[in-house]
């Protein structure tokens, strides 16, 4: 992929995902800027060729593209709204925001309309693939937004992804991500329960898992998460219980707003909300099957 020498990409939020994306962009010869509230994260970014910034305003002023990796839709909206004057002052220097956060469809639609009115672009582009995918440039990205904005942003998107899927207009990427994470949350529970059943019936859970992964019951959760983080008792995938709870809650709220009847998903949402695991625990803790309580 040819990279324009004058393409400057700012990454806002250098957590477990944002840092990997920033490092990947720098490795692929983009002029990469980074901002985070943590000085430790800024230092790690600088060690990988990412230019650390002291303010959000700098990122909005200097970047042609901005990649967001933030915890919530509220954070995304605040960052944009706090820098509206800079966006207004940029004139014909067009900025496209690529929001990789798992956000909310309505918030993304509002921000896209707001930025379009100022001559800028906004793509809701949540990702799947975890910190390893971010660090290797092999994320899957589900994208909502205008065709023109997507076409202009493709060099940056291709640098970060192995698969980039345009789902539809603004908000569509967020909807797809919530569907994906709702299924992942369900698979974590059902795979765990299946292995509990195998154990209770006297079958080696690892043998049962091999069968599942060779047959129709498999999922990415069973093929990757269970062997890597659950069966090994590592529980360190890099994605927290709190974030998965948030995503399941957002999916449940979307179902309620759209009058979608999801009886099994309602139970999944209750299980995640009512789990004793702390928000800071890794979400793979939900897959622990060794207790038969």
Backbone angles phi, psi at 17, to 5 degrees: -95, -50
The CA distances from residue 77 to 16, 54, 103, 172, 260, in Å, are 21, 20, 10, 17, 27
Question: What CA dihedral angle connects 100, 22, 53 and 57, to 10 degrees?
Answer: -30
The residue range of the domain holding 266 is 175-287
How confident is residue 116, by pLDDT bands cut at 50, 70 and 90?
very high
Average predicted confidence (pLDDT) for the chain: 95
Per-residue pLDDT, 292: 54
pLDDT the model gives residue 291 = 62
Of 128, 152, 169, which one is at a domain's C-terminal end?
A: 169
Q: What pTM was estimated for this model as a whole?
A: 0.92
Judge whether 153 lies within some domain: yes
Active-site entry in 88, 177, 246, 252? 177
CB 13 within 8 A of CB 45: no
pLDDT value for 3: 47
Same domain? For 182 and 155 the reply is no
Query: Do both 94 and 222 map to the same domain?
Result: no
d(CA 221, CA 228): 10
- The residues facing 121 across adjacent strands are 96
Tokens at 156, concatenated: 């940056």
Asked whether residue 293 is domain-assigned, the answer is no
Q: List the end-to-end C-alpha distance of the chain, in Å, as a whole number.
A: 53
Q: Which DSSP category does 48 fall into? A: T
Least confident of 44-48, 80-84, 226-230, 287-291: 287-291
pLDDT tens for residues 231-262? 999 999 999 999 999 999 999 999 999 999 99
Q: For residues 21 and 125, is the Cβ–Cβ distance under 8 A?
A: no
Does the structure show a pLDDT above 60 at 270? yes
The CATH number that applies at residue 146 is: 3.40.50.720
Higher-scoring residue by pLDDT: 292, 265: 265
Q: Cβ contacts of residue 278 below 8 Å, gap of 6+?
A: 241, 242
Instruction: Give the number of domains in the chain.
Output: 2
Known catalytic membership, residue 28: no
CATH number of domain containing 256: 1.10.1040.10
Residue 150 has pLDDT above 70, yes or no: yes
């Amino acid at each position: 992929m040819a990279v324009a020498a004058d393409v400057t990409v700012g990454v806002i939020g250098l957590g477990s995902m944002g840092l990997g994306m920033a490092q990947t962009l720098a490795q692929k010869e983009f002029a990469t800027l980074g901002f985070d509230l943590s000085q430790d994260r800024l230092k790690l970014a600088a060690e990988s060729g990412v230019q650390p910034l002291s303010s959000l305003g700098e990122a909005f002023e200097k970047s042609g593209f901005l990649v967001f990796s933030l915890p919530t839709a509220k954070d995304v909206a605040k960052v944009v709204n706090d820098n509206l004057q800079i966006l207004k002052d940029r004139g014909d220097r067009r900025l496209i925001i690529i929001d990789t956060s798992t956000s909310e469809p309505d918030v993304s639609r509002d921000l896209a309309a707001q930025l379009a009115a100022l001559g800028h672009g906004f793509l809701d582009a949540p990702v799947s693939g975890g910190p390893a995918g971010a660090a290797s440039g092999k994320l899957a990205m589900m994208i909502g937004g205008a065709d023109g904005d997507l076409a202009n942003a493709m060099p940056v998107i291709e640098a970060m992804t192995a698969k980039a899927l345009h789902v539809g207009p603004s908000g569509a990427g967020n909807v797809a991500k919530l569907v994906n994470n709702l299924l992942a949350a369900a698979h974590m529970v059902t795979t765990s329960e299946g292995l509990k059943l195998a154990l209770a019936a006297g079958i080696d859970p690892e043998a049962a898992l091999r069968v599942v992964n060779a047959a129709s019951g498999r999922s990415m959760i069973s093929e990757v998460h269970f062997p890597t983080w659950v069966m090994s008792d590592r529980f360190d995938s890099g994605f927290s219980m709190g974030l998965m709870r948030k995503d399941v809650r957002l999916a449940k709220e979307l179902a309620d707003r759209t009058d979608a009847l999801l009886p099994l998903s309602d139970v999944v949402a209750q299980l995640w909300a009512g789990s004793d695991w702390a928000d800071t625990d890794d979400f793979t803790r939900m897959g622990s099957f060794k207790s038969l309580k």
